[in-house]
């Protein structure tokens, strides 16, 4: 039985990871400030520390008390738009918060596995699908903060001989993702179409992302925990590039509808195209994405449909922002 600590465990990806770790027979505790997470996602009997990763004293106290062997670090500021508007706050959470956890991890000899970003890391004008060897050209502070967090993981490895890992996630989607949150275009489309609403797409809709089902992401985190090789950064994606309009078509097929989007100007900090080359993860971790996009979207729509109230007052537009991973909302 392994002692596991999950930051952002009340969020979208984190709650799925909790379920998997429990099913695998490990002991789990959670850190979440509940600013966006849902406390009801934490199963009974699991210790929840309501704390902010920016609080260095709290992080050290929690980590040294729980003494985890593995820290899955998913808590983050995940909005590209917010990172552009307030890069300082973005850095405080994504860089400072990670450094706080690394400091605690060092005291108990824990391995930290970071939910980083793949989509926001590389920018445009790069080979696609993009391998980890391509230098980051991120167009937003969010990508910069995640890259800096990765560098701190590597630095601690050089200084102290630890082996922390970063998983650069594609655009993660699936059940439990908030259709009203800052991130999650799939969830937003599913939630709005379930209510008969018209999404607004920023830009022409031909921008592409690597959409990745949450169960595949959980498999990647579990595989990373047991890794003993020399690599430290892994792309976690499907390798496929799907446009926003094609994604909307897939959600319409899952819903049996034909709702079309309204368009608005593109937003700052976005990039045009993205797809991740995950050959390194396949070779080193034994991981590949296995859920077809059509099947993942079908599952996501069915779950959100059950949670979505019936439309009232006719069709309404919904302003959609295409964000990154997501990761850890959690992305």
Residues annotated as catalytic (active site), given as ranges = 142
Pair type for strands 242-243 and 165-169: unpaired
Residue 204 Cα to chain centre, angstroms: 24
3-state SS string for 254-318: HHCCCCCCEEECCCCCCCCCCCECCHHHHHHHCCCCCCCHHHHHHHHHHHHHHHCCCCCCCCCEE
8 Å CB contact between 147 and 136: yes
Pair type for strands 242-243 and 208-209: antiparallel
3-state SS string for 183-236: CCHHHHHHHHHHCCCEEEEECCCCCEECEEEHHHHHHHHHHHHCCCCCCCEEEE
H-run or E-run covering 115? strand 111-117
Instruction: Give 112: exposed, middle or buried? Use CB within 10 Å, 0-12, 13-18, 19+.
Output: buried
Tokens 């995950």 correspond to: 278
CA distances from 45 to 22, 25, 27, 35, 301 (A): 11, 14, 10, 21, 30
8 Å CB contact between 189 and 251: yes
Q: What are the backbone dihedrals phi and psi of residue 322, each rounded to the nearest 5 degrees, phi first? A: -85, 110
How far apart are the C-alpha atoms of 121 and 8, rounded to whole Å?
A: 21
Tokens 């900090």 correspond to: 269
């Amino acid at each position: 039985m392994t002692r596991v600590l999950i930051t952002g465990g009340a969020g979208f990806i984190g709650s799925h990871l909790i379920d998997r770790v429990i099913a695998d027979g490990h002991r789990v505790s959670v850190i979440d400030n509940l600013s966006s997470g849902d406390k009801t996602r934490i199963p009974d009997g699991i210790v929840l520390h309501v704390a902010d990763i920016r609080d260095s004293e709290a992080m050290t106290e929690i980590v040294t008390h729980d003494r985890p062997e593995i820290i899955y670090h998913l808590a983050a500021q995940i909005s590209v738009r917010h990172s552009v508007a307030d890069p300082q706050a973005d850095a405080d959470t994504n860089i400072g918060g990670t450094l706080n956890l690394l400091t605690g991890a060092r005291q108990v000899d824990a391995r930290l596995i970071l939910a980083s970003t793949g989509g926001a890391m590389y920018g445009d004008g790069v080979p696609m699908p993009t391998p980890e060897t391509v230098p980051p050209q991120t167009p937003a502070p969010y990508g910069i903060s995640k890259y800096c967090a990765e560098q701190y993981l590597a630095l601690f490895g050089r200084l102290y001989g630890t082996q922390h890992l970063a998983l650069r996630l594609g655009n993660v989607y699936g059940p439990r993702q908030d259709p009203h949150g800052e991130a999650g275009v799939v969830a937003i489309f599913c939630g709005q179409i379930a209510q008969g609403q018209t999404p607004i797409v920023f830009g022409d809709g031909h921008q592409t992302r690597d959409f990745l089902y949450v169960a595949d992401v959980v498999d990647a985190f579990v595989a990373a925990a047991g890794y003993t090789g020399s690599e430290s950064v892994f792309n976690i994606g499907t390798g496929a590039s799907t446009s926003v309009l094609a994604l909307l078509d897939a959600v319409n097929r899952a819903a049996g509808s034909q709702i079309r989007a309204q368009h608005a100007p593109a937003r700052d900090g976005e990039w045009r195209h993205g797809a991740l080359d995950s050959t390194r993860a396949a070779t080193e971790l034994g991981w590949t994405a296995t859920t077809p996009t059509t099947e993942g979207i079908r599952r996501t729509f069915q779950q959100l449909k059950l949670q979505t109230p019936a439309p009232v007052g006719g069709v309404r537009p919904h302003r959609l922002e295409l964000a990154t991973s997501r990761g850890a909302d959690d992305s």
